[in-house]
Every structure is written in structure tokens, then in C-alpha cells.
Structure 1
Amino acid sequence: MPPHPHPLPLLQADCSNCFALCCVALPFAKSNDFAVNKPAGTPCTNLRQDFRCGIHTQLRDKGFQGCTVFDCFGAGQQVSQVTFGGRDWRTDPDTARPMFDVFPVMRQLHELLFYLAEALTLPAAAPVHADLRRVLATTEEWTRADAAALTALDVSALRQDANTLLLTTSELVRAKVPGRKKNHRGADLMGARLAGADLRGANLRGAYLIAADLSRADLRTADMIGADLRDANLRDADLRGAVFLTQPQLNAARGNPATRIPPTLTHPAHWTT
């Protein structure tokens, strides 16, 4: 059976079917995002025995903003329920180390699937849809591999192959926007005053937009892949049709109910005013 052409429902985190891998496998560095240091492979002190967070409703108040921003794109339940067949690291300690090693790899694969799946929904990218399906099928196949194969996988090589197609997708989509488009790829725009800016079709790949003022900015059809939106002001901004925008990027930013976003994403709970 060919892979599903648009697997977005499979790429949403389902914490009820995950063994809290993001709370254990990944390290924390004490900062504005995390109240404490935590080494990789060590359970967070807030983790309960049932694999739930003891301060889930108070994460931002307790200094764990980083937890509210992180998204595994569904990698957690894939590792927990598929790769390791429902065996958890507490009752089966031998699974702990390989499970924690596989999780970051799976997370990269699921993020890549997210981008590839989105590209396949874009009519302008039709010239590369066949190649996108090929890479998506290969990536999906890897998500079903065993732990040993996943740990040995060269994810960077797989991402490089996909990135060529994602770049072409971006160019095809943004070419539909009339006029000259701004190129801010990888630019340092930290704290930049871009309120009300016309950024339609702009290339913002990998741009540092930390604490930038993008209120009322028009970001329709802008390429947002890898853009750092931590504390960026997106109040009243228009991101409809923004290319490769993710939920974690929105979670890291500041917006309001009037911020317009793609229909596949949701307004973060902290975007209240």
C-alpha cells in the first residue's frame, strides 16, 4: 500500500500514548526557558509515575516555558508504541537507553514528514510532487525501522535530499506573489522593528526573529522554515499561507486572537490579548 499522501494527523503529539520521552531523553539548560539544569536521560523532577507532568498547567509560571514550546511532531508515541511495541522504560529498564537514543532521530524524521506533507498540499509545487512523494515514502519507511537501524541512520543525508525539494517548493510557491520579494534567509533580525511590514513571499528561512516586532505584518506565503520566532510579536499579523510554519514556532511567539494563521495550526493558549 502506498504511503498516505498527507499524514499530518499522524504528526501531532499524543502524550497519552508516549512514555514522556521529551521529559527524560532530552537535556535542559537552566535559562529563561528552563528553571533547572537536567542532563539527557534523566527524568525531569516534575515527572510523575504515570508519565504525566506534575505542573502541566503551571509550566510558564514555574519557569518551564521551553516545555510549552516543544513539539515532537508525534515522534513520542511512534517510538513508544511502534518502535518499542508499548514497552516503557520504567517497567523494562533495558529499553531506556536505546529508547532515549532513538527519540531525537524519530523527532527529526517526523518533522521532515511534516514539511514534505505540507509541500504535497501546495498546488504550485506540482512539478516536484512526484519527487516529494518518493522522499516522503522513504522517510515514512525509516519511521518503521527498528531501534538499531534508527540509531545508525544518517539523518542529515536524508534531510539534505529532502531540503533540495523543499527549497524548490518554496521558490515555486513564492513565485506566485507579484513583485520583488525580500530575502532575509539566515538574517539576524533579533529585535527588528517590522511592525506592519509587507513580507508577502519573503524568504525568512533560518532568520533570527527573536523578540522582533512583527505586529500587523503581512507574512502571507513567506517561507518560515527554521525561523526563530521566540518572543516575536505576532499580534494582528497575517500568516495565512505561510510556508512551512510549525506549531512550535507559534508557541514560542507572542500573538493574540486576531493573529491570522494557517488552518492546520492553532492559536497557543497564552495568546490571550
Structure 2
Amino acid sequence: MEVVAGDLGDASSLRAAFAEVDAAFAVTTPFEEGTQAEVEQGRAIVAAAAQAELPHLVLASVASANRSTGVPHFESKERIEEILAQEDLAWTVIAPPYFFDNLLGGLQSIREGWLQLPLPPDRPLQQLARQDLGALVTAVVADRERHVGRRIEAASDAPTPAPMAAALQKVLHRPVEPVQVPLAMVHESSADMGAMWDLINREATTWTSAHCTAPIRTSPGRPSPPGRRATRQSAPMDLSCEQSASMPVPATGPRTDGDGTRVRLA
């Protein structure tokens, strides 16, 4: 494996990073310099991919970003998706929901016996592990032609805080209780996060996959030019797709949507 440095604020470094590879998985962030900076990161990624003639750009977004939710860091990702759709690129958008791994941000509280979330103990929360996200990206890259031009929302489970706390208690061998953090406290800390948790509370299990959307328009994908570095690997997971004309989707369990495609992670 070769490590290549790239700077999301430096288009030339991105072009160099995208040179002579088969695919790139790109992630933007609003949590350092804000949502407008994130849009510029996305713009730079898309431009560099086009200039480097990247055969396949896999872009990380967020579930429901394409629904005008009013959540600032969802809307910045929606804008990036719009920029991507305007370019002559072979792309796939992968849009996960809340990550299981986000619990690590409250690790000290968990060690003290409290699982703090701005949710009632019986409210489901669709989630995905970052390790599974990596497996999904690998599977998409390994089967490029099947996934070019698709927007995929993926969730692996939708537990409520109560069984989440029970699972932590079992692993830690100490009591862990779910604690509902008032939404007002979240808004005081971050308007962006407050808006996101408002959405999750409002739409419960449906926030990642309640709506099917038409595929974003895309130009036909280009074949990989000769001499590109091989980056594809066999997928370490089963990626079985079912054509689904409409939702609703079952309230729990792995799925995706976007162009009428549901993906089960196994």
C-alpha cells in the first residue's frame, strides 16, 4: 500500500493523490472550519477528480442530506452532491447515518455508568459502524459498474438507548443506564447538532431511509485507462441488492435507498 499526502485545501495535491489510481473514497468535514469550508473541500475534490480523470469517485455524504432537512452539515453535503452531479465523472455517493463509534466521544460518562443521548430510552436510532462503512466502500469499488451513478444510504441496525446501554453493561461488567439529555442543552452547545437531534427525534427510525429518490443524473462511467494502479479488493461482505419501487422500509435492519436500491450488509 502506498500512502500519498493530500490537502483538501490544495487542489494540486488532490490531483497528485488521484493520479494513476482506480478509485478514491473522499470524506469532507464541517467540524473544523464550518459548513462553507466543507463545501469548498467538496468542490476541490470534485474538480481534482475531473482533472485527474479519476475512474471512480466514491463520496461520503450523510443520510437524508438530499431532503432539505435544515441541518447545516447535512445541507453542506447536499450542496457538494449537487456540485458532483454537474461534473462528467463516474461517482457513487455513500450516505451513512449516525455511527456506533460516536459513543466513544462520551467514553468517560459511559465508564461512570451513564449512556447520554438526546433521545428517549425507547426511541430507535439508525446506526452504522465505521468498520462496516469501510466494507461497504470496498464492495462498491470492487463492483464499480453496478454502483456508478447511485446514491446509497446504509444503516446496519436501529437500537434504542436501552439495549445499547445493556450491551455496554455486558461488555464493561458494570451498570450502565441510558440518560436522556435535554435537546435544549444540545442546542446551547451547537445549533448544528441541535438541528440534527431535532430531526432524529422528529422522524425516529425513518430519518435515514424514509424517502426513495431518483438517481442523480450522471454521465456514463469511463473505463479505467491502462496503467492505473490497482486498488480493488475482494469485498469482505455480502452486498445483495434488491430493487424496491417505494418505501416504507422496515423500521429496523440493514438497508439503503437512493435509486430504488436496497443493500443488505451481512
TM-score, normalised with respect to structure 2: 0.26
Query: Greater relative contact order (Cα 8 A, min sep 6): structure 1 or 2?
Result: 2
TM-score, normalised with respect to structure 1: 0.25
